[in-house]
Amino acid sequence: MKNIKALKVSLRQHYREYRENLDSSQKKALDYEMHQRLWKLPAYRKSHLIFTYVSKPIEVDTHAVITTALSQRKLVAVPRCIENHEMEFYEIRSFDDLAPGNFGVLEPIPEKCRKVTDFSQGLCIVPGFSFDSNGFRLGYGKGYYDRFLMKFAGDTVGLCYSACVQWNLPHGYYDRPVDVLVTEKYIRRISHEKFAGGKA
């Protein structure tokens, strides 16, 4: 049996290299297609509160998502990493509410933002190096989102380049798949129960 940890390390490196080798115009075009699909999702349109990561250069861009959601008068909450690999989310009103934090990622400035304590609803955009056909993700290995998603009861969506989607990824018993996977080519609905009443 393959060592799962070693396999994940290898997969992360593979998908990191793919993203680093995308030229800026190609990445911008792929991100644009994903944004268009995301904004058409009923789960996005109905949500008053959007939880999202603030993207780094190798990630699917969320800066445009944040700007658009704020212009639509939605509440936008972004994460701040704290001890024990946990995250806190804070509502932001603009990018002026952010400053470089752990790992060089832009994080909310607690003194300028309101902390979110209700995770019973909303839409969470989940990052990942890769997702599989069942909605499971390959994250960065720190477990921040794994811990958060255990207490999040709203809808979840993964944004991923189609070249980074695998049929199956190794995952643990407590891992939670996203409800919807969005790539530049298609939308894959994972949660049949949540979307049985209408198309996502």
What residues are paired with 52 via a beta bridge?
125
Residue 149 or residue 198, greater confidence: 149
Query: Amino acid identity of 42?
Result: P
Smallest Cα–Cα separation from 179: which of 135, 147, 142, 144?
135
- What is the per-residue pLDDT across 98-125, written as a single tens digit (0 to 9) for each? 999 877 899 999 999 999 999 999 999 9
3-state SS record for 7-45 = HHHHHHHHHHHHHHCCCHHHHHHHHHHHHHHHHHCHHHH
- What is the per-residue pLDDT across 19-75, written as a single tens digit (0 to 9) for each? 999 999 999 999 999 999 999 999 999 999 999 999 999 999 999 999 999 999 999
Residues 77 and 66: beta-carbon distance below 8 Å: no
- What domains, with CATH codes, occur in the chain? 4-189 (3.40.50.10420)
* Cα gap 140→120, rounded to integer Å: 25
